[in-house]
Structure 1
Amino acid sequence: MKNLVKAAISPRVIIMPLAMPQGVVQVVRDDMLIGGTKQRALYHYLTTTAAAGYNEIVYASPPPASEQVALAYMCQQRKVACTLFCWQMDKRYHPFSLQAESFGATIYPCDSLEQAEIAARVYTEHTPDSIKLPLGFNVPAYIDCLKAEIATSWQHVIADLGYEPARVWLPAGSAVLSNVFREVVSEDTLLNCVNVRLLPEEEERIRAVASRAGVHLFRARESFLEPCIDIPPIPSNPHYDAKLWYFIHQYGQHQDVWWNAAR
């Protein structure tokens, strides 16, 4: 966890310039947060669930998803139980699952994401005072918290850069992050999103992203479980955010912002 920021409350964004032949791309270094950008809204979300009487959070996780790390870490901070049903790769836990376990999460192995979702749902139905979060934390209460955090962070980006970016690069996995950005940033800001192929292309959440005004959706060359071919010059999740690098290197423009959501 070297160089990671241990903070219970969403810290101010850190921006790093990245020189390229076509100009300078500004990188938001949320890879420095334990679990990445999704961590930002979890403290306040967990506060609301605790107030509602829930003392255990249940989640079904893809193997290389940083959300499981963010959730386990923030549950530890809020002293809330965290139970993860983790899809294993090659019958082995992903390092992210082991990291989540180090933060106190209870881990149950599953052979697929579908199996993990079913097992998590059954577990929640039989465990009093527990609540299951869907893929990407796609529930209104969490999304409202994330909107508030992204809105604040976006104003910090504008203040620190001295201009409002015209183009932002984002990963599209569960589509939660890209949808939040589309509702928070100016309608004049183009979102260049890369479908990392966590969900099938015909899945409604991905189709909805592609159909939104002000969004250009690229498709990662690699399948979801394949790590990226082109390695970026910054720490980035090879199954998620790092897959943006190929497209940024090809099509990025001067003063673009790359929101690097996790490592």
Structure 2
Amino acid sequence: MAHSWDPDRYLTFADERGRPFVELLARVGADAPHRVVDLGCGAGYLTVLLARRWPQAQILGVDSSSEMINAAPVGEGVSFSVGDIASWVPAEPVGVLVSNAALQWVPGHLDLLPRLVEAVAPGGWLAFQVPGNFEEPSHTIRRELAAEAPYAEHTAGVATPDAHDAARYLSVLSGLGCSVDAWETTYLHVLRGEDPVFTWVSGTGARPTLQALPDELRPAFEQEFKRRLREAYPERDGAVVLPFRRVFVVARRGASSTL
């Protein structure tokens, strides 16, 4: 089933979610690109940073969620449109193509990389960041619980995120003629509030699972999910620590590379 995104829930931890974008952008060496695209831009609150970095560029944010695009800021020097990463093709090659925490939702996205590189002008930049924490309790608990009765019949085949390690992306993009800078970072997010890990995952990785459940089953699922998350991430001194590994890739297309 199709799932929708809640901008308010996603932005609950806006600072924690935004930091990887800023650190990714810092490694992009473009001076004066003409066109910059943020692919999978969400609610666009980070896309406006691109306009500040390159004020003379045409900045476009693209996301498959109309809810997110409708929540995007207006008048910040950025235009937004609804589009699917898996099929998106620019009208002309772009100077910088950025994708922040979005490719993990595209099944088989390694196969998409040649087309994304081709969307970048020779000498231009492709930069993306994806989560690398899918074997952490925040994900494994959801998968295990969703596979139990009575939930399994409703959650089978639901969209789930996945990604590769930095070495895999480096290998693929180097093979496409790019100069590649790839690395991994594990953030230790200190979260506060009631069931903060549940709040975090319910805005991202767990959202399609939660939406797939019928109304009469969702409260019990959420209650048990919260209980297991509290066990996995115990509160200490009023806070919970959520380790979050992320994978970063910055690739520059060769000036004479062909695909």
TM tier, smaller: 0.3 to 0.5
TM-score of the superposition, structure 2-length normalised?
Answer: 0.40
TM-score of the superposition, structure 1-length normalised?
Answer: 0.40
| Structure with greater Cα Rg | 2
